[in-house]
Chains A and B, each alone.
Chain A
Amino acid sequence: MKRRTFLKNTALGAASISVPFILPSGRLFAASGSRMADHVVFVAFAGGVRQQESILQRYLDDSQDYPSVGNIMYNMFDGLPPSDKIVYGTDGILSGDTPIPKLLSQTLQQQGTIFKEVNASTVGHYAGVNTLLTGNYMYSQGLKNKPSMPTIFEYLRRHQGVKATKTWFIGNGIGNSLPLLDYSLHPEYGSQFGANFLAPTITFGDDGEQHLKNAKIYHPEDELDPMYKMKYFLDNVWYSQGKPLPNIGNTEEEKAEIKQFVKDMFEKKANGTIAHPPSGSNSDGQTVGYACEVLKRFKPTFSVVYLSSVDGCHSNFTSYLQSLHSADHAVGHLWDYIQNNIPEMANNTTLIVSPEHGRNLESNNIVDANAFTGYDHSDANSRRIFNMMIGPGIDANLAIGNENNQVGDIINITPTIAEILGFKNEMMGAGLTASNNSLFDLI
């Protein structure tokens, strides 16, 4: 196993690599685990992805009773695309008749390890992402509540002393309580270890153009400094009487950097130079473009990119196929961009891809313009997903499990991220995750 070789090779040097440093809390910290990579980018497909149209490459054959099979996610998976009834592409003469050209010379499957059949027990959007980020099935957690268990962001920041701008949660929109998932309400963790959330399609969309674009950038010494001095005085007075406010702990410098980033993005948008995928017209493509910009600017230790256009499957199966195809293109672009445009992250980043849950075996009664029926997420088929990881120390071209042999669970993802970034022992020590096993433990 490459991972075992990697661990063996790094074991001797671990003590010397683990340089002690001071956490924000003031505690002396020494890393207990060696890192496999210094950066992790986790792409979560929201809205539910059926195994049948993704990794099983059955296109219309297993959903619409039309005998056309093939791979519409050919940047991620090996396999030839469909040759009949092409509706998954961009609009040419007919709607969806033009597939997006393949971006990567080598598929992500060839570059990494894929778990073909994984269990995901929660099938709601908020619950699904909550599980992905906390490593717990939050059966009793409703919408519009912050997670009760710590998120992976909080473990990372608390146990490795990582700055706020080194953890990002980039979402396609603000629906389904998504912004609430940047940190939990757990008393041992909480806001001070949270991630910087950003929903770029809104921040830099029409609403942002109206209400954020013309923001002033105040002079740091002449204007900001006296303003903050007054604010700190007012806040100190308030703390003696009132309640504290949750704060994710961006320093003044980090806040200034974020404000400058927002301003720069509006300029880049106006100039047409945002790092969008070559075919990035839908909101997932837009989100990935801005995610590339966040990665390039902040070089985060850990970032989550949440893509949700595939959720259209409830009522428009054709749109779902197009979204899957576009999402594959966007993920390929993201990986390509990291390797070729961010030298600090190239060859030092692990990419993890996972749907939050699957979709039904049986269709609903909603028919789209191609007479295709839609699929909700409520039966056993919705609990089937795939996982993929690519990066240093991870076996290339390795496939684990199959349709008849389920290996892995969605709750193995947070321990996997912790293991890659070297804080799995601390995370397991907290005893707050449903599983101690990472995906590596299942190989």
Chain B
Amino acid sequence: MKKIILLFLCFSVLVSSCKKDDLIYDLNQVNATSYNANKNKLKTIPQYISILFANLFQKALSANELLEITNCIESIGDKEVAHEIVLSNFMNKSGVTLPSDSLMRADVNAFIEQTYKRFYVRDLTEAEREFFLNFFESHPDVSVEMVYTAFSLSNEYQFY
């Protein structure tokens, strides 16, 4: 009996001694979204418009207006042109919610991060951060409206 107990103890020690603890470094864990956030579906015109409107006005577009704007976009063949016209029409309306240019300039880093989150629903890469930091430095007159327009018209924004 003693032998059996001894063998059992030896076996237990051997098994437990092989278990490896997970390494934990002294850093906070971050949940990062993937590079293109797995976007592979093209938004329909109503999807694009309703999301764009919500992004700019922080509220939902009415069903009637959604239909009217969809018709407008369908009536112009070059969708880039159509989107640009509709978007600049939005920018001319009261109620569009944009941070001020001075706020943007006060913390460009934070503004870029928030803009990527707002429009692309993902984190930016260091290369993207570098581009925009340099761009803002070399283009001191760039406004929030211009940045938001560029993001709204970009191809990534057409996908989800």
Interfacial residues, chain A to chain B (CB-CB below 8 A): 164, 169, 174, 179, 182, 194-200, 202-203, 206-208, 210-218, 222-223, 226-231, 233-235, 237-239, 241-245, 247-248, 250, 255, 258-259, 262
New A-B contacts (10) at CB < 8 Å, excluding given A197-B75, A233-B131, A259-B84: A174-B75, A179-B77, A211-B72, A215-B85, A226-B142, A230-B151, A242-B155, A242-B159, A255-B78, A255-B84
Q: Is the CB of A212 within 8 A of B135?
A: no
Q: How far is the CA of A247 from the CA of B83 in the complex (A)?
A: 13
Instruction: Say whether A255 contacts B80, CB under 8 Å.
Output: yes
Q: Which of B37-71 contact A (CB under 8 A)?
A: 39-40, 42, 65, 68-69, 71
Stretch in contact with the other chain, from B7-15, B18-26, B86-94, B102-110: B86-94
Residue of B nearest to A263 (CB): B85
Query: Is B2 engaged at the interface, CB distance under 8 Å to the other chain?
Result: no
Closest to B139 in A: A226
Q: Which residues of B contact A258 (CB under 8 A)?
A: 76, 78, 81
CB <8 Å contact, B158 and A230: no
CB distance from A121 to the nearest CB of B (A): 28
Q: In the docked arrangement, what's the CA distance between A169 and B76, Å?
A: 10
B40 touches A243 (CB 8 A): yes
Is B77 touching A248 in the complex (CB atoms < 8 A)?
Answer: yes
Q: Please measure, in the bound complex, the distance between the C-alpha atom of A5 and the C-alpha atom of B36, giving whole angstroms.
A: 62
Q: Would you call A230 and B135 a contact (CB within 8 A)?
A: yes
Residues in chain A near residue B79, CB distance under 8 A: 245
Residue B92 contacts which of A216, A222, A243 (CB distance < 8 angstroms)?
A216
Top-9 shortest CB links A-B: A197-B77, A230-B150, A202-B75, A199-B75, A234-B154, A216-B88, A241-B36, A238-B156, A207-B68
* CB <8 Å contact, B72 and A238: no
A403 to chain B, nearest CB (A): 39
Query: Which residues of B are interface residues toward A (Cβ below 8 A)?
Result: 35-36, 39-40, 42, 65, 68-69, 71-72, 74-81, 84-86, 88-89, 91-93, 127-128, 131-132, 135, 139, 141-142, 146-147, 149-151, 153-156, 158-159
Q: Once bound together, how far apart are the Cα atoms of A241 and B120, in whole Å?
A: 14
Q: How far is the CA of A302 from the CA of B151 in the complex (A)?
A: 34
B75 to chain A, nearest CB (A): 4
A198 to B82, CA, bound (A): 10
CA distance in complex: A262, B84 (Å): 12
Chain A residues whose C-beta falls within 8 Å of the C-beta of B93 in the assembled complex = 214
CA distance A245 to B156 in the complex (A): 10
Closest residue on chain B to residue A250 by CB atoms:
B78
Q: How far is the CA of A43 from the CA of B110 in the complex (A)?
A: 55
Is A203 touching B139 in the complex (CB atoms < 8 A)? no
Residues A179 and B74 in contact in the complex (CB < 8 Å), given A231-B154, A255-B80: yes
What CA separation (Å) do A365 and B154 show in the bound complex?
Answer: 53
Q: How far is the CB of A150 from chain B (nearest CB, A)?
A: 16
In the complex, are the beta carbons of A234 and B72 less than 8 A apart?
no
CA gap between A203 and B68 in the complex, in Å: 10
Q: Are A234's CB and B135's CB within 8 A? A: no
Are B77 and A169 neighbours in the complex by a CB distance under 8 Å? yes
Which residue of chain A has the shortest Cβ distance to B116 in the bound complex? A234
Residues B81 and A234 in contact, CB atoms below 8 Å apart: no
Chain A residues within 8 Å of B151, by CB: 230, 234
A213 to B68, CA, bound (A): 13
A199 contact set on B, CB distance < 8 A: 74-76
Considering the chains assembled together, what is the distance between the CA atoms of A210 and B90 in angstroms? 11
What would 24 A/B residue contacts be, using CB atoms closer than 8 Å? A197-B77, A198-B75, A198-B76, A199-B74, A207-B72, A211-B86, A212-B86, A214-B93, A215-B86, A215-B89, A218-B88, A226-B141, A226-B142, A230-B132, A231-B154, A234-B150, A234-B154, A234-B156, A237-B156, A238-B36, A242-B155, A243-B42, A248-B78, A259-B81
Selected from B91, B150, B156, the residue in CB contact (under 8 A) with A242 is: B156
Most buried by B among A198, A207, A213: A207
